[in-house]
Amino acid sequence: MGAWTDLPGEFLAGVDPARPADADTAAHMHRLGSIRAGESYLAWCRYQTILVLCDRLLSSVGNSYVSDGFGDIVARVSREAGITRYRAGAMVDEALCLRSRLPRVLETLRDGIIAPHQIREIIGRTHLVSDDHLLDPDDLDSRRIIEVLDASIAALLRNRVGSWSTSGLRDMIDRLVFGHDADAVRERRREALDTRGVWTENHGDGTAEITAVMAAENIRACDASVRALAASVCDRDGRTRSQRNSDAMCALLTRTAFTCACGQSDCTAPPVDPAGAAAGAEIVIHVVTDADTLAGGSGPGWVDGHGVICDEHVRDLAARPDATLSPVTPVRTPPARVAAEDECTRTAESVAPKPGTATVVVFPGALPGDPYRPTSACAEFVRVRDGYCTEPGCTRSAFTADVDHVAEYDHARPARGGATSSENLNAKCRAGHLHKTHSDWTDVQYRDDHGRLVTEFVTPEGFVIPGEAETLEDLFPNLRRIRFEQAAKAPPTPRIIVPERGHRPPRTITERTAAKHAKRREERARNKAQREAERRARSEAAHHQPTTHDDEPPPF
């Protein structure tokens, strides 16, 4: 089969087909990014081509699927691509929606900033924003909310450094939608609750599927109940986790006994009555919000494993008899110090920070007797701040993830290792935590010029991969005012010595780890120096940039 001769030239930007196979790994990492941008560009080309068909074939005379030409466009798209009419109709609707409602977001697809599946997520989460609803009905020059929302989303996608996971993008969009039109978020909740129900579908191979739609907190409670019951078997049960979850759900719904499938007479897992297990299980659903929202103000909330919810939903959850309200800062803990710091506040239409003075309250970050272990309040705060695992693309909840030292804690020489502080801790799923521990990858966490907490992951060959672009700090800016720091004179962790091995002298068990820590410290120091140099260059360029006046002729 021949080469793709009509491949658009823009798709090859940054990709050299003649690059030798033995090129360095970092170059191939750059190639992956170029390919991903090319896929987005081709998706933009498809939308543009569909819009050309719409301009030529759609008629304003008819008002039906056939008479207005819409059906003809769908038939062309579906038959050419060999897809269903339903999917083809969705693609046509997406193209029309992007042109009329989200043109700036569509440009980010063209420029390779977001992927096709992400732009469909943006369309779906902004569909309830009214086309004709103005920001200020009394202002004749007021722009439509959808126009401002389009500009806000596009500006964040272009100007914020980091990757957009499914959960991060979803939370960002819902946050902006709530800020511009809280009624749209509230209406979406009511609409979703009105369509709740249970459905079944046969697969035709002796299995079937059951689907239920209900309130987010009920889904989280049901999921926790199923997983708790599925975990009550012994270690010799041969079923996979998914299989156990399926059997446990059936037992809960039918109120039948759930038994271990090991088949051994000495099984240590007795049959469990699902009704009793569900009644005795403690299910915790984490909800984050501001005190003003709880008091009746207009502000968003966030449910672990679900995302952004409206203020009415927050207060409904807080009013439940089994709800427990607690602040993210320790109760009755005096602050260690108070400092003044610029707070990053962002408007709906701009991502530039507005300098101000915000009181930063600092609490103890480590246990008094063990500087390696964060306090329970510090660990809880880190999970609240991150919301999800900080690995790019990972949607694992931070509340089921590990709290990891970004700059490794040196058990042999604590003074040289990373501090146990909220600024040096983040949430990682178990797989990501183990990968960092046993590999040569490093990660870096720092505050940028705008005060945002930035996480970066560095491959062994030095290729930098940006971390998540959205955290709960963006949803709740007050989280930036809280710090947990390690005491300056924390007691050192004792060195552990292994017994003598033959004729070889004893050595510390941290010998290899210490070497890895030293290498990672060098990497971080080099990256930090490069960031500082780039920051100084930007500052000097902004300081020496010439200014022009309106009455002066433009430069040649």
Q: What is the pLDDT of residues 221-246, one digit of tens each?
A: 888 889 888 988 998 999 999 999 99
Residues 342 and 488 in one domain: yes
Higher pLDDT, 464 or 530: 464
Lowest mean pLDDT among 274-278, 408-412, 444-448, 493-497: 493-497
Residues 351 and 259 in one domain: no
Q: Indicate the burial class of 222 (C-beta count within 10 angstroms; 0-12, 13-18, 19 or more).
A: middle
- The number of domains in the chain is 4
Question: What is the C-alpha separation between 212 and 240, in angstroms, rounded?
Answer: 23
pLDDT tens profile 149-163: 999 999 999 999 889
Helix, strand, coil % over all residues of the chain, rounded to 5:
45, 15, 40
Residue 455 banded pLDDT, cuts 50, 70, 90: very high
Question: What is the C-alpha separation between 196 and 201, in angstroms, rounded?
Answer: 16
Residue 277, pLDDT score? 57
Residues 279 and 369 in one domain: no
Eight-state DSSP code of residue 469: S
Residues 490 and 402 in one domain: yes
Q: Is the pLDDT of residue 105 over 90?
A: yes
Which residues are within 8 A (CB) of 467 and not within 5 positions of it... i.e. 6 or more apart?
A: 162, 163, 390, 391, 392, 443, 454, 455, 456, 457
Cβ atoms of 399 and 304 closer than 8 Å: yes
Residue 69, pLDDT score? 84
Cβ atoms of 388 and 475 closer than 8 Å: no
Residues 488 and 348 in one domain: yes
Q: Is the pLDDT of residue 329 over 80?
A: no
Q: Residue 260: what are its φ and ψ, rounded to 5°?
A: -70, 145
User: In the beta sheet, which residues pair with residue 360?
Assistant: 339
Lowest mean pLDDT among 66-80, 84-98, 122-136, 446-460: 122-136
Residue 344 banded pLDDT, cuts 50, 70, 90: very low
Residue 302 banded pLDDT, cuts 50, 70, 90: very high
Cα–Cα–Cα angle for 170, 43, 172, rounded to 5 degrees: 15
Structure tokens given for 242: 């998914």
Question: What is the C-alpha separation between 555 and 63, in angstroms, rounded?
Answer: 53
Q: What's the mean pLDDT when you consider all of the chain?
A: 80
Q: What is the number of other CB atoms lying within 10 angstroms of the CB of residue 492?
A: 12
Q: Is the pLDDT of residue 554 over 80?
A: no
Which residues are within 8 A (CB) of 11 and not within 5 positions of it... i.e. 6 or more apart?
A: 38, 41, 42
Question: What is the C-alpha separation between 53 and 68, in angstroms, rounded?
Answer: 13
Question: What is the C-alpha separation between 253 and 230, in angstroms, rounded?
Answer: 14
Residue 475, pLDDT score? 93
- Residue 538 within a domain: no
Residue 331 banded pLDDT, cuts 50, 70, 90: low
CA distances from 520 to 422, 441, 444, 459, 526 (A): 20, 9, 10, 11, 10
Residue 451 banded pLDDT, cuts 50, 70, 90: confident
Residue 499, pLDDT score? 46
Question: What is the C-alpha separation between 59 and 41, in angstroms, rounded?
Answer: 29
- Residue 536 within a domain: no
Higher pLDDT, 508 or 466: 466
Residue 9, pLDDT score? 59
Q: Is the pLDDT of residue 504 over 90?
A: no
Q: Which residue has the tokens 């050192």?
A: 492
Task: Return the amino acid letter for 348.
Answer: A
Eight-state DSSP code of residue 131: S
- Residue 153 within a domain: yes
Lowest mean pLDDT among 10-24, 97-111, 310-324, 399-413: 10-24
Question: Which of 59-68, 132-141, 187-196, 529-538 is most confident?
Answer: 187-196
Residues 234 and 291 in one domain: no
Q: What is the mean pLDDT of residues 210-222?
A: 88
Q: Residue 488: what are its φ and ψ, rounded to 5°?
A: -65, -30
Question: What is the C-alpha separation between 71 and 26, in angstroms, rounded?
Answer: 47
What are the counts of helices (DSSP H) followed by strands (DSSP E) for the chain? 17, 15
Residue 136, pLDDT score? 62
Residue-number span of the structural domain to which 300 is assigned = 287-318
Angle, helices 85-100 vs 70-81, to 10°: value is 120
Three-class secondary structure of residue 504 per DSSP: strand
Residues 54 and 148 in one domain: yes
Lowest mean pLDDT among 53-67, 85-99, 333-347: 333-347
Higher pLDDT, 65 or 392: 392
First vs last C-alpha separation in the chain: 50
Task: Return the amino acid letter for 371.
Answer: P
Cβ atoms of 348 and 339 closer than 8 Å: no
Longest dimension (CA), the chain: 95
Structure tokens given for 232: 């009550």
Residue 76, pLDDT score? 94
Q: Is the pLDDT of residue 141 over 90?
A: no
Q: Residue 119: what are its φ and ψ, rounded to 5°?
A: -70, -30
Q: Which residue has the tokens 């990972």?
A: 394
- Residue 504 within a domain: no
The H or E element containing residue 364 is: strand 358-364
Question: What is the C-alpha separation between 212 and 285, in angstroms, rounded?
Answer: 19
What is this structure's pTM? 0.76
Task: Return the amino acid letter for 537.
Answer: A
CA distances from 442 to 59, 204, 414, 418, 517 (A): 58, 48, 19, 13, 10
Residues 382 and 405 in one domain: yes
Q: Which residue has the tokens 């009550």?
A: 232
Residue 489, pLDDT score? 57
Residues 114 and 74 in one domain: yes
Three-class secondary structure of residue 63 per DSSP: coil
Q: Is the pLDDT of residue 352 over 90?
A: no
Residue 15, pLDDT score? 54
pLDDT tens profile 6-45: 655 555 555 566 665 556 788 878 888 888 888 999 999 9
- Residue 530 within a domain: no
Among residues 407, 347, 413, 421, the alpha carbon closest in space to that of 527 is found at: 407
Cβ atoms of 354 and 348 closer than 8 Å: no
- Residue 205 within a domain: no
Pick the last residue of a domain from 460, 495, 530: 495
- Residue 539 within a domain: no
- Residue 203 within a domain: no
Cβ atoms of 237 and 262 closer than 8 Å: yes
Residues 364 and 491 in one domain: yes
Residues 292 and 279 in one domain: no
Residues 85 and 178 in one domain: no
Alpha helices by DSSP H, 281-375: 291-294, 311-318
